[in-house]
Structure 1
Amino acid sequence: MSGQIVMPKLGMTMTEGTITEWYKDVGDPVEKGEPILMISSDKLTQDIEAPESGILLEKRGDTDSLLPVGEVLAVIGEEGAAPIPEVRSAKEPAAVMPAEPEHSVVSAEQAPKETSTRPESDRIFVTPLARRIAEAEGVDLHSIEGSGGNGRITKRDVERALVQREATGILAEAESAIQERASLASGQAIAPQPAAEAGVGEGLSPMRKAIAKNMRRSLAETAQLTLHRKADGNALIEFQQTLKRELVNAGYDTKLTLTVLLARAAVLALQEVKSLNATYRDGKLTEHDEVHLGIATSLDHGLVVPVIRDAHQRTIGALAEDIREATEQARSGAASPSLLAGSTFTITNLGASGVEYFTPILNPPETGILGVGALQDELALSEDGSVKQVKKIPLSLTFDHQIVDGALAAAFLTALVKYIETPYLLVL
């Protein structure tokens, strides 16, 4: 008996993955639970383990090969076992499957309702499962070239057609939105252009390619505007130092950074101005009571956004621990797909890079994203007229002007500054 391992679906948006490294060669014995190969998606890297013991009979992809979800990666079984032609659906997770040959091929001649009207030249060879999927998804079988024996159409062919259809639709919508925005900006009508080629991010690594597509789509589908404001950070810094001393005295080793306190301040501000804690997806706007906070985390070759779920229910200490764990998992490549999805608002901090102000790009379907810059030393007059040194925190709020007006965005920044400059409100 033989079985196969297929490319798993590691996240809702994953359609393909890359073979990063093979740990075994054809003919090598493998034990159940032993890593066979490493794969990577646009956001994650993961070892694929052997679900059963046996011999590695086949490797169906070289290192750096880019394969769609559901594609066979390896075949495991007893030595001399027959290969397996059928693969599991792209919507199902990776697993070893028993050898099950395709059911008999159904042609147009065998289909009782179609044989009498379809000419000989229009015959379609298709497996029953592929036909059912095509009918359910409204896919025209005439437009699919079969990869099975005698050119038969398999479920893998139908699933590839579905992925291609979705990608074509997204690119066409993005191109249309870009043209419309350009037309509005210039005040002139622009003749329709053909849909862009599916070449965004071509030649880049899987992660950079995904980032390229997401950023292009974000700019095409939203009306982004950025407001900038500074906050007096002296009180927040003093508050941080006081808490750190108290935690040390109490025997805690919690890493309390300014990012943690700013995250807490943002959460409280979002509960006051809920319009910024919103998502807009598929024509539906949702304002959320729960704050699922995304923390943009830089990697060596890209960027991911782990999510702190229910951040509004976290104390400062719990929030600090959650952020530490989430960013560590993201940087090590061990983050689960659920950790990288579902945010309602994102914070991105470039303070360590010395950047003061910038224009962060929205993380769709979110309505807002907050950029934090490097602390700036400034001189200011105190209440008694003397000059004092102030640590200013630069804040950059990008929001979707389709959803939120400037007044509401400014109200959010006002609330945020209030919590930064009166930090003891963070613990109430």
Structure 2
Amino acid sequence: MPVPVIMPKFEMAQESGKVLRWLKQEGDAVAKGEAILEVETDKVAMEVEAPASGTLVGIRVGPGEVVPIGQPIAFILLPGEVWTAAPTPSPAPSPGTPRATPLAERLAQAHGVDLAAVLGTGPGGRVTKADVEMYLARQRMEDAPKGAVRAVPAARRLARELGVDLREVKGTGPGGRIQSADVLRAAEAIPRAAEAEALPRPALRRRVPLTGMRRAIAERMLRSVREAPQFTVSVDVEMGRALAMVEDLSAWAEREEGVRVTLTALLIRACAWALRRHPSLNATLEGEEILEWEEVNIGVAVAVPEGLVVPVVPGADRKGLIEIARALEEKATRAREGRLRPEDLQGGTFTLSNLGMYGVDRFTAILNPPQAAILAVGRVAKRPVVEEGDRVEVRSMATFTLTADHRIVDGVQAARFLDDLRMALERPGILLG
């Protein structure tokens, strides 16, 4: 039978994907594992690989179309098979052929399912485990209370926030399930008396739908400020020796290793060193438990045209500066080109946001849930500093602001972390040990 190419799920909260372009066309030969199309999620663009070797047929969606996850978008015709646009029923099993696979029989027996009522899609009409699971899913839908609304969790949350009655929303997901996009469309259609009675507004330049990455960021940040009691602690750090170290190492690394060592790479190394000393900040909250992680995986906020992504440098505490710089350069490039892979965004335990290159002196970052803390770094600038004996000297200074989840971290823990981070940057030779 032809193998379906389904809209894959790359992220935990993903509901759908948009087809960007087909890399292979109708009738092209493809090999298993070969990239056949590009798909865009709320965060990144990904390549979808062929699930089998054969001929690409039955392409159902074109560029720009949004498809719910799990829905077939094309098929791979296996060698020796003939493609028909409409699927044909499998022939009845020949005498002596088992009606179902052993796995299907065990699953049916466990749930009290009569295999005679299950449509078989396997060779010769044989009932497979997937057929029994599909039958059970249909039964659950039919047995659901009358009037029950089928919607993904994200759509339910969005409906509560926007005041949308899910019973009035038409779902476009698999089996009519309501997606977040359906809720947004329903919200736009609700008459707003306040708007009708409002005073004349300025001329509108353009209307930008809150969709895709911007919607994902909005939902994530709203969840962050709503659920986590956040507090901030700031410290000024003298950066002269750190800048000199970056300058010396970068000149050598570019010549010998072909990679440019940046201040952000040094900040990642310093944060990893400090997090090893303060594991309470390298943590997340899960239910009634605080999980402190053995790995120090630092995410770095990177601006892209559509918004913001946070690629992760895994095992930053075990990497040298050049290794961190190379990983950071590769992931930042992929982020800006829209080529991030799922593993580039997963597993972060702490986040660094550096806006110094944009001339920002200081700022406060919002937590990246479910992480315990995020560090905001401003620009390095010449400032007057009062030394002992009231002597004023001009030094290269930067302001570091830590935002932490008070459910996980206390003020003293945050302060001690920042104190060690300042020590590591003002005496960067410590990081070479």
Provide TM-score, normalisation by structure 2. Answer: 0.71
Query: What is aligned with 2:338?
Result: 333
2:304 pairs with one of 288, 299, 306: 299
In 1, the alpha carbon distance for the partners of 2:321 and 2:401 equals 23
Q: Which amino acid aligns with 1:30?
A: D
Change (3 A) 1:198 1:359: farther
2:136 corresponds to 1:132: yes
Query: What is aligned with 1:225?
Result: 231
In 2, the alpha carbon distance for the partners of 1:59 and 1:337 equals 25
After TM superposition, the structure 1 stretch with the greater mean CA deviation from structure 2, 348-357 or 387-396, is 387-396
Query: What is aligned with 1:357?
Result: 362
Instruction: State the SS of the aligned residue for 2:30.
Output: coil
1:270-299 alpha-carbon deviations (Å, 9 max, x no partner): 112221111112332111232111111111
Whether contact under 8 Å (1:2, 1:81) holds in the other structure is: no
Whether contact under 8 Å (1:2, 1:82) holds in the other structure is: no
Q: Which amino acid aligns with 1:255?
A: R
1:25-47 alpha-carbon deviations (Å, 9 max, x no partner): 6xx42111475432111222123
In 1, the alpha carbon distance for the partners of 2:236 and 2:415 equals 12
The root-mean-square deviation of aligned C-alpha atoms, in Å, is 3.5
In 1, the alpha carbon distance for the partners of 2:248 and 2:135 equals 67
Q: Which amino acid aligns with 1:242?
A: D
Q: State the 1:62 CA deviation.
A: 4.0
Question: Unmatched 5+ residue regions in structure 2?
Answer: 90-103, 115-130, 163-181, 189-208
1:343-373 alpha-carbon deviations (Å, 9 max, x no partner): 1101011111111211211111100000111
Q: Which amino acid aligns with 2:249?
A: L
In 1, the alpha carbon distance for the partners of 2:60 and 2:88 equals 12
1:220-247 alpha-carbon deviations (Å, 9 max, x no partner): 2111122222111112112222333555
Question: Unmatched 5+ residue regions in structure 1?
Answer: 87-102, 113-126, 146-157, 176-196
In 2, the alpha carbon distance for the partners of 1:38 and 1:48 equals 6
Q: Which amino acid aligns with 2:336?
A: R
Query: What is aligned with 2:73?
Result: 73
Change (3 A) 1:374 1:165: same
Query: What is aligned with 2:64?
Result: 64
After TM superposition, the structure 1 stretch with the greater mean CA deviation from structure 2, 36-45 or 268-277, is 36-45
Provide TM-score, normalisation by structure 1. Answer: 0.72
Whether contact under 8 Å (2:253, 2:322) holds in the other structure is: no
Whether contact under 8 Å (1:278, 1:287) holds in the other structure is: yes
2:395 pairs with one of 377, 381, 390: 390
* % identical aligned pairs: 31
Query: What is aligned with 1:150?
Result: none
Change (3 A) 1:74 1:252: closer
Change (3 A) 1:84 1:299: farther
2:199 corresponds to 1:212: no
1:40-61 alpha-carbon deviations (Å, 9 max, x no partner): 11222123354433353x3333
Instruction: State the SS of the aligned residue for 1:73.
Output: strand
Whether contact under 8 Å (2:13, 2:154) holds in the other structure is: no
Q: Which residues in structure 2 correspond to 1:109-188 (within 5 Å)? A: 128-133=132-137, 141-143=143-145, 161=150, 164-167=151-154, 170=157
Instruction: State the SS of the aligned residue for 2:362.
Output: coil
Change (3 A) 1:247 1:29: closer
Change (3 A) 1:411 1:45: same
After TM superposition, the structure 1 stretch with the greater mean CA deviation from structure 2, 66-75 or 11-20, is 11-20
1:347 pairs with one of 334, 347, 352: 352
In 1, the alpha carbon distance for the partners of 2:403 and 2:290 equals 18
Query: What is aligned with 2:166?
Result: none
In 1, the alpha carbon distance for the partners of 2:88 and 2:184 equals 31
Q: Which amino acid aligns with 2:55?
A: G
In 2, the alpha carbon distance for the partners of 1:323 and 1:338 equals 14
Q: Which amino acid aligns with 1:240?
A: V
Q: Which residues in structure 2 correspond to 1:225-374 (within 5 Å)? A: 225-245=231-251, 247=253, 251-374=256-379
Instruction: Write out the 4+ residue segments of structure 1 that deviate beyond 6 Å after TM superposition.
Output: 172-175
Instruction: State the SS of the aligned residue for 1:235.
Output: helix
Whether contact under 8 Å (1:9, 1:69) holds in the other structure is: yes
Name the count of aligned residue pairs: 352
